[in-house]
Structure 1
Amino acid sequence: MRNLERLSTGIRGLDEILAGGVPEGFFVALVGMPGTGKTIACLHFINAGLALGEKAIYVTTEESRESIIRQAAQFGMDFEKAVREGRLIIIDALMRASSDEWNLNLVTVEEMLDKVIEAKKRLGLKARRLVIDSMSAFWLRAPVKAREESYTVKRILAKWNLTVYATSQYAITTGGAFGWGLEHIADGIIHFKRRIINGVLTRYIIVEKMRQTPHDLRAWEIAIIDGKGLVLLNPLTRRLEDEALPEKVSRRIKKVLSGEGQ
């Protein structure tokens, strides 16, 4: 049995908790509420491939191509040069200018897949990484189609030798996915979370699933640093539920549950 090849996430600490990276050919869902770092993780994943001489495809549905390029530049990633040199194709589903070869006129799964396959043929064998950010845009009007369409995306892309990062937005109001989300078809799930602790926004990630991988099961605090991007800081020593409570309150609850406070 040959060794499983893994692709770097572009984030050093994340590679370590994934036993070296994401297994080649996997469909990985990056899920969570807006503002938790999913897009930045996608930028790292693409940049890691470009740094190794690979080519890549990025589908953006909620930001323009220009916005993705500017955001990458903020973290020291030169996507503009990669696009100019023909090493990166950014498919823009937001602006929808018919005169642009790599824009989507209709935000549908079918048209997106057609464009991705066209881009893969154009870039050739060196195109190993694909980001779809986000899949949620394709079923905003019909969340019930999420399960069927996400399965279609995985089934078709499996034939094209691509390792896929696909993001899925969770609703701010409920903290849940739109429709069925991507979790049911994903080979891996990385959940991005956030909490307000002592009046400060704190972000976390936890690898909830990664097949064929002895991954870390802890939640890790992350930071988004200008010039660097997403950085893993440290594993949490308390539960995420406890992190949302003041330390004094958390201690009192534990005493009551253990019978000490009676």
Structure 2
Amino acid sequence: MLSGGLLEHSICAVVGTYGTGKTTVALQFVYEGLAKGEKVIYISLEEREDFLRATMAQKGWDMDQYQDSFFLIRLDPTDFNIAISSIKSELPSLIKSVGAGRVVIDPISLFEGLFEDESVRRKEMFKFIETMRDETCTFLLTSETDKNNQFTSKYGLIEYLSDTVILLRYVRPTNIAEVHLALEVVKMRRSAHSREIKPFEILADQVMVYSEANVF
């Protein structure tokens, strides 16, 4: 669906409502990078470090072998000054110091929410994304959807700033039918990506996209 995968050194946004597997997709992205010998930074603004590590252990991933390659950082988004400073000022130097090939921010929507004024949010996010483009690594940012629209991010901004946008959502054929998870590559710059909507499942050890199947 991505014509071979995410482009190296690009910025990808994974957008979805609660329970659609955003963090699971991000962790899969992390593990695949580590397995390829890359250094990975994971910044969590929501889930606790012990929960994330327990989730990875539950999937059967041996993370002990990657202690020198995996950097998991938990930031408290309620502490505005520390969260802003850590992401804007310290992340670029951390990327360079560890030689990170992949960086995850989960969810970027909590970072966006630190700016109450919409014009300030747009300006700060644009500056932040432009700074990240100077780094030689691939970014994956997760975002909640708008509470009234499952097809757009919470602030409707990250889609415009990212190179790739992957939308995760529920599909309910009827009110009493089984609920399915569906995935769509909404946008991918410099790539002839698939425009189809495909079902996927969150399995015990991986996320499986059924690219040959149809949702209905």
TM-score category of the 2 structures, normalised to the smaller one: 0.7 to 0.9
1:92 aligns with 2:67: no
Q: What residue number does 1:112 align with?
A: 87
1:179 aligns with 2:161: no
Distance (whole Å) between structure 2 residues aligned to residue 208 and residue 143 of structure 1: 27
Larger Rg: 1
Q: How many residues align?
A: 211
TM-score (norm 1): 0.72
Distance (whole Å) between structure 2 residues aligned to residue 153 and residue 46 of structure 1: 21
Q: What residue number does 2:24 align with?
A: 40
Distance (whole Å) between structure 2 residues aligned to residue 19 and residue 111 of structure 1: 34
SS, match of residue 159 in structure 1: coil
SS, match of residue 142 in structure 2: strand
Q: What residue number does 1:122 align with?
A: 97
Q: What residue number does 2:58 align with?
A: 74
Q: What residue number does 1:192 align with?
A: 168
Root-mean-square deviation (CA, aligned residues, Å) is: 2.4
| Higher relative contact order (Cα pairs below 8 Å, separated by 6+ residues) | 2
Q: What residue number does 2:107 align with?
A: 134
Distance 1:92 1:112, change over 3 A: same
1:207 aligns with 2:185: yes
Match of 1:232 among 179, 187, 209: 209
Structure 1 residues not aligned, in runs of 5+: 1-16, 98-103, 244-262
Sequence identity percentage = 25
Distance (whole Å) between structure 1 residues aligned to residue 68 and residue 137 of structure 2: 18
Distance 1:96 1:86, change over 3 A: farther
Distance (whole Å) between structure 1 residues aligned to residue 88 and residue 109 of structure 2: 15
Distance (whole Å) between structure 1 residues aligned to residue 198 and residue 149 of structure 2: 22
TM-score (norm 2): 0.87
